[in-house]
Chains A and B, each alone.
Chain A
Amino acid sequence: AQSVSQHNHHVILSEAASLELGCNYSYGGTVNLFWYVQYPGQHLQLLLKYFSGDPLVKGIKGFEAEFIKSKFSFNLRKPSVQWSDTAEYFCAVNGAGGGADGLTFGKGTHLIIQP
């Protein structure tokens, strides 16, 4: 069975600091990888996804993530965070080549940006 591990459950940063949220997954085959964000009071929405090609993917709002296959990792990064980035961030995975099940999510990282 696949699983996703997010290392930090709570992160507090000051504005303009750099961000890296860790995500490791466990799966025996080819995977598709996603980062979703849940802003306070809003729907869960997609930040970025990777399913093939360039392992460095860029998403909305200046976020990017790098897929490192050898490390089973898909860490999320942003060079300079803003107060509006305060949200809960979820890493998710599903198996490629069939999509036989839904997404497996990590437990989430609650990010707080202090002005």
Chain B
Amino acid sequence: DGGITQSPKYLFRKEGQNVTLSCEQNLNHDAMYWYRQDPGQGLRLIYYSQIVNDFQKGDIAEGYSVSREKKESFPLTVTSAQKNPTAFYLCASSVAFRAGTDTQYFGPGTRLTVL
């Protein structure tokens, strides 16, 4: 069953702690993305990766870090530098990073709450 999995579904973190959100895809997609969704704000791009071992900052990268060591995996670390980390985090992937016409497929999301 192909798709994108994100874990955990719910995550609680104390202030000052780093936390890593998992994103795995078995669609053989080259490109992967992380978005943050806040109520009434839509989705905002955090980081994206076109190929393995390469990634670029999106619109709101401050306080976040990523890695892309494997094609199928694109974990996101929310660091203690992120001032307002409580949000719903969505991972997406697309076949390739060509001309922006490829459909992005989204995972189920991780809801992060900072206590």
Contact = CB atoms under 8 A, between A and B. Distances in A.
A binds B: yes
B40 interface: yes
Nearest to B57: A101
Interface stretch (A11-19, A40-48, A73-81): A40-48
B45 A43 contact: no
A99 interface: yes
B106 A45 contact: yes
B106 A99 contact: no
Contact of A106 (B42, B48, B56): B42
Nearest to A98: B99
A97 interface: yes
Contacts of B56: 101
Given A96-B99, A99-B98, A107 B40 contact: yes
- Taking residues whose C-beta sits less than 8 angstroms from the other chain, chain B's interface range is 20 to 34
Given A99-B97, A99-B99, A90 B43 contact: yes
B42 A107 contact: yes
The SS class assigned to the B binding surface is loop
Interface residues of A, number: 28
Contacts of A6: 42
Contacts, number: 70
Contact of B45 (A4, A45, A49, A104): A104
B85 interface: no
A95 B100 contact: yes
A34 B98 CA distance: 16
A51 interface: yes
Interface in B3-52: 33, 35, 40-45, 48
Interface of A: 4, 6, 9, 32, 34, 36, 43-46, 49, 51, 90, 92, 94-99, 101-108
Given A4-B42, A103-B33, A105-B35, 8 more contacts: A6-B42, A43-B109, A44-B106, A92-B43, A97-B100, A99-B100, A105-B43, A108-B40
